[in-house]
Structure 1
Amino acid sequence: MQGQLPPLGRMYEVGAGDSRSEGRQLMLHRSGSGGPAVVLLPGAGLVGLDFLNIQAGAAQFTTSVLYDRAGTGWSDPATLPRTPNEVTDELRELLRAAGTPGPYLLVGHSLGAFYARRYAQRFPDEVAGLLLLDPGHEDIHTYMPEEVAGMSDQLKRDPDTLPDRLTDEQIRLAREQWAQLYARWPTEVREQLIKHNLASWRTAFVEVLNFETEVYEELRGGGALPDVPLTVLTAGGTNPYWAQFMPEKLLREAHDGLRSLHAAMAAAVPRGEHHEVAGASHQYLHIEHRDAVLDALRELHAKA
């Protein structure tokens, strides 16, 4: 957690020479060798070590990197939410500080997919391929039923309305769920990751507060993606958060819209592919269906 040494990886300083900001220590863990290097960009509320299974698998065939954005995980604090430009500038400097040369295979999950696409827009020569795991998109409402757009205020959670702490029962259930999810993680990593999740569960809601303003705006105005291999994986299971607010028929239509969006994202580039991972959940697609993610990553690596 912030202020403590991570159970894996090491800390690197970035931003020390930037007059706009103070230097920050960011966590990065790297293993494997060769290129292009795989770089994992977590979704909102997740951290680098949530992707340790993918990082370790990718390290079997290339250099593989996970990290924590500032304001998350074991990296130094930062005011959230942040813009894609801020996040991609930081990531670029971190990779250089860690001596990890490009080009990169960027693996972006959910919010991390926005950041991966923005990196590719801004630094196209440094990207060899993109793997987007159940990504969001600035044009998502175009693909959703009208009723979903009308429910946007319900679907967004104001952090100020969240409780100050989890109940004992919520903590117990969360611990059980995470213990199962991280069963294959090393014991020390698993315990620290669960402790972090219990302390930082609000982060997921704060990181997405600027979705419909700064994030969407930067992506819309950012230009085309480079001509590199791109794969979009859709989580084919039911989104449990959406299910709290939508009747079954509307939920099916919303998922159909998401599939159409992801297919359009893949079709928008010359070497794009779209695949659905049956039964996968949005939040933990990469844990519950590790092999599907690694298979897609190996194919991308071969093409790159």
Structure 2
Amino acid sequence: MRTSRHSTLRTGLAAVAAIVVAAALAGAAYEQIGRYRAARDFPAPGKMIDIGGGRRIQLDCRGTGAPTVVFEAGLSVDGSLSWSAVQPKVAAHTRACAYSRAGLMWSDPSNAPPGARQAVRDLRAALANAGERGPFVLVGQSLGGLYSVGFTRDFGAEVAGLVLVDPSHPEQVERVAHFMTESRSMRSRIGVAFAPFGVLRAAAPALLPQPPHRSAHEMQAIRAFAPKSLRTQLAESDATDASLADVKGFRDLGDRPLVVLTAMAPYTAAELRGMKITSEQGRQVQAIWKQMHEEMAAWSSRGSHLLVADAGHDIQLDRPQVVADAVLSVVDAVRSNSR
């Protein structure tokens, strides 16, 4: 009797193992087909630029004129598409380039540690190898704002002006630490771990719902590359502290024209839940955020600070014309300097 029970158990375990293996193989096949279809159905806008080491960076440059505007996305999965509502408005007046960092959307991943240092090196290589020359006006949103500051530190001779769109501040963590506890979702890590088996691809519509300011085609492209981009986003998030520390000692932007935009729409209920704070604490955090941006505007003797009352953190999506106007004001100031 005991032998029979053991035999039944072994048979059951073998059946479960076979099902798991079959599911894994089916998921892996689903993921590979998804990657093929993503590349086929959503070709990279612009060009894929070889930056050496067997890696290519997607760079989308449009329009003509100087200075050239270079857009740097924040901590997101949409790469160059983060600026799809702003870039055409700017490209109508001057050269405008948006790109996807390593591992986002069409760009090849890197084995180097993610963060500010890698982003600056890759962007410089992509621009140089594509034949794009300064002077540049850098436009960075959120963490991309600090990447733009890091680029200015390392290649200042090529940077004529900046626009920082609701940017991160080097001291943001310690200044708001007493309001909230940092939380990086274990579900995100599990999802990334199982991405090779199609888990993230299947979950992409739920993880990345279509907001009102996005076209269906854009969302389809973003979701198609989500398994790759979400892995990169998580790695960049983990490297945030190092990126903040990297630019902490550099706060001198000279007399470059600078505009800092601050989102002032009250935090939504979902945002408050995500930050695990009350609405009153949200108002206090927003006041600190505003103060940090006032400080950043003073990093240049020609800095200005603009509050955007009806926009959330992604001002470039909520109020693209405001961002475009700020960029073109800096472009005009740079042109006036060169006359």
TM-score (norm 2): 0.76
Q: Is the Cα–Cα contact under 8 Å of residues 65 and 94 in structure 2 kept in the other structure?
A: yes
RMSD after superposition? 2.7
Q: Is the Cα–Cα contact under 8 Å of residues 104 and 128 in structure 1 kept in the other structure?
A: yes
Which residue of 1 is the match for residue 316 of structure 2? 286
Q: Is the Cα–Cα contact under 8 Å of residues 161 and 258 in structure 2 kept in the other structure?
A: yes
Give the Å deviation of 1:188: 5.0
Which residue of 1 is the match for residue 205 of structure 2? 171
Q: Equivalent of 1:6, from 34, 37, 43?
A: 43
Which residue of 1 is the match for residue 249 of structure 2? 221
Whichever structure has more helix as a proportion of its residues is: 2
Q: Is there any run of 5+ residues in structure 2 with no aligned partner, and where? A: 1-34, 335-339
Give the Å deviation of 1:115: 0.7
Give the Å deviation of 1:80: 7.4
Give the Å deviation of 1:118: 0.3
Opposite residue 6 of structure 1, the aligned amino acid is P
Give the Å deviation of 1:109: 0.7
Residue 205, structure 1, aligned to residue 234, structure 2: yes
Residues 255 and 11 of structure 1, relative CA distance in 2, 3 Å threshold? same
Residue 192, structure 1, aligned to residue 221, structure 2: yes
Q: Is the Cα–Cα contact under 8 Å of residues 39 and 65 in structure 1 kept in the other structure?
A: yes
Greater displacement, 53-62 / 160-169: 160-169
Q: Deviations over 1:60-87 (max 9, x none)?
A: 0000001111111100112475132221
Give the Å deviation of 1:26: 0.9
Which residue of 2 is the match for residue 259 of structure 1? 290
Which residue of 1 is the match for residue 9 of structure 2? none
Q: Is the Cα–Cα contact under 8 Å of residues 105 and 129 in structure 1 kept in the other structure?
A: yes
Q: Is the Cα–Cα contact under 8 Å of residues 135 and 160 in structure 2 kept in the other structure?
A: yes
Give the Å deviation of 1:173: 7.8
Which residue of 1 is the match for residue 281 of structure 2? 250
Which residue of 1 is the match for residue 136 of structure 2? 104
Residues 138 and 25 of structure 1, relative CA distance in 2, 3 Å threshold? same
Give the Å deviation of 1:166: 6.1
Q: Residue 132 of structure 1 aligns to a residue in which SS?
A: strand
Which residue of 2 is the match for residue 134 of structure 1? 166
Residues 220 and 246 of structure 1, relative CA distance in 2, 3 Å threshold? same
Residue 52, structure 1, aligned to residue 52, structure 2: no
Give the Å deviation of 1:225: 2.4
CA distance in 1, matches of 2:112, 2:286: 29
Q: Is the Cα–Cα contact under 8 Å of residues 129 and 230 in structure 1 kept in the other structure?
A: yes
Residue 119, structure 1, aligned to residue 154, structure 2: no
Q: Residue 126 of structure 2 aligns to a residue in which SS?
A: helix
Which residue of 2 is the match for residue 19 of structure 1? none
Greater displacement, 22-31 / 158-167: 158-167
CA distance in 1, matches of 2:71, 2:107: 15
Based on CA coordinates, which of the two structures has the bigger radius of gyration? 2
TM-score (norm 1): 0.84
CA distance in 2, matches of 1:285, 1:235: 7
Q: Equivalent of 1:26, from 57, 61, 73?
A: 57
Q: Is the Cα–Cα contact under 8 Å of residues 255 and 301 in structure 2 kept in the other structure?
A: yes
Residues 161 and 226 of structure 1, relative CA distance in 2, 3 Å threshold? farther
Residue 237, structure 1, aligned to residue 265, structure 2: yes
Q: Is there any run of 5+ residues in structure 1 with no aligned partner, and where? A: 17-21
Which residue of 1 is the match for residue 29 of structure 2? none
Opposite residue 247 of structure 1, the aligned amino acid is T
Residues 174 and 223 of structure 1, relative CA distance in 2, 3 Å threshold? closer
